[in-house]
Amino acid sequence: VDPERPGVLTLSASPAIDLEATLDGGQAFRWWREGESYRGVVGRRAYRVSGRSPAGAPATTEASEMVVEAVDDWPLTPRDEAMLRRYLGLDYDFAAFAARFAGDPCIGPAITGWPGLRVLRQDRWECLVAFICSSTSNIPRIKQNVNAIAVAYGDRVGPGPHDFVFPSAPRLAEVGEAPLRELGLGFRARFVARAAQAIASGQPDLEAVAAMSYEQALESLMRLYGVGMKVADCALAFAFDKPQAFPVDRWVKRALEEWYRIPEKLSMERTAAWARARFGPDAVYVNQYLFHRQRLTARGVSRV
């Protein structure tokens, strides 16, 4: 925090964070492009985040600074800074990861092509709900669902159309299934309502889940109705400090078949287990690069 400019916070990252890939690439669903920056809510405050290079341009491998301001224009505190650094995963030793996988025929070039893709550390409950909503869905629709929930039942923290805090589990538990269905969640409304009830009653306690081993945490989340392995792994990786998680969806499975000769018939579970063993404690970073590369290549905007 710069005492001369209390409304603005500067965060440095090396390499520069690719905001588009990181904030709007399928990890988080409540960031909105606003000119050169992205706007979204972290904790109970709405922020604008912008990189030094124009959004959309390839991130550079050099260190760069991000500029963050709160939409309420009040001063930013060291607490804001600590929270945002945590959210953006700025303490992660990215260089070590990049070095470790530089020689990998698939991941190496992907890291070179998108050096600024990072893994976020999101709010546990919001992230869990978002991935429950991801079942047989797509990114635009997931965004629509999650934001509809926030707008309908969350507290407003800014003047913008998306400046809402995601509602707590107890709040969504009292809302119930039918209203969620009316927001367009479809069959996922039951999943979210039942998860909200369970979490609201402390079964399980999400902070306790985060403190568990990966295996125990996975088991705990999968006991929730509507949460299978893919959804649980996403939540664990993106919100529960479990970077060894490796969510396998059709995109990632296809990429593994293509690059690592995984047999097509191998189940999702076995594929995930193979990948965790193969890629180790940073598996989710590999996972994100596989996903990102596969998805963008399919769209014809490959950088490798």
Partner DNA sequence: TGGAAGCCTGGTGT
Partner DNA sequence: AACACCAGGCTTC
Q: Which amino acid is at 217?
A: A
Distance CA 49, CA 168 (A): 25
Question: Judged by CB under 7 A, does residue 216 bind DNA?
Answer: no
Residue 258 binds DNA, judged by CB under 7 A? no
Give the span between the Cα atoms of 30 and 23, in whole angstroms: 8
**Which tokens sit at 181?**
């269905």
**Binding to DNA by residue 201, rule CB under 7 A?**
no
Does the protein bind DNA through residue 244 (CB under 7 A)? no
Backbone φ and ψ of 64, nearest 5°: -150, 170
The residue within the footprint of DNA, chosen from 170, 250, 278, 280 (CB under 7 A), is 250
Q: Is 225 in the site for DNA (CB under 7 A)?
A: yes
Establish if 43 lies at the interface with DNA (CB under 7 A): no
Q: Quick one: which of 26, 154, 167, 243 contacts DNA (CB under 7 A)?
A: 26
Among 34, 219, 249, 257, indicate the residue that binds DNA (CB under 7 A): 249
In contact, 183 and 149? CB cutoff 8 Å? yes
- How near is the Cβ of 216 to DNA at its closest, in Å? 17
Asked if 203 touches DNA (CB under 7 A), the answer is: no
176 counts as binding DNA under rule CB under 7 A: no
Q: Which two tokens stand for residue 266?
A: 């191998």
* Nearest alpha-carbon partner for 251 in 296, 293, 291: 291
Residue 75 preceded by cis peptide, ω within 30: no
Contacts with DNA by CB under 7 A: the residue count is 37
Peptide bond into 15 cis (omega under 30): yes
Q: Is 139 a binder of DNA (CB under 7 A)? A: yes
d(CA 67, CA 190): 40
Among 85, 162, 295, 303, binds DNA (CB under 7 A): 295
Give the range of 21-29, 36-44, 59-67, 106-114 binding DNA by CB under 7 A.
21-29
Give Cβ neighbours of residue 260 (< 8 Å, ≥ 6 apart): 106, 278
**Is residue 232 a contact residue for DNA (CB under 7 A)?**
yes
Selected from 76, 150, 217, 234, the binder of DNA by CB under 7 A is 234
Query: For residues 190 and 154, is the Cβ–Cβ distance under 8 A?
Result: no
Measured from the CB atom, the residue of 41 and 180 that comes closer to DNA is 180
By CB under 7 A, name the one of 141, 162, 171, 303 that touches DNA.
Answer: 141
User: Contact between 144 and DNA (CB under 7 A)?
Assistant: yes
In order, the DSSP letters of 243-265 are TT-----HHHHHHHHHHH---TT
27 contributes a contact to DNA by CB under 7 A: yes
Binding site for DNA (CB under 7 A): 25-27, 134-141, 144, 181, 184, 186-188, 190-191, 224-232, 234, 247, 249-251, 265, 267, 291, 295
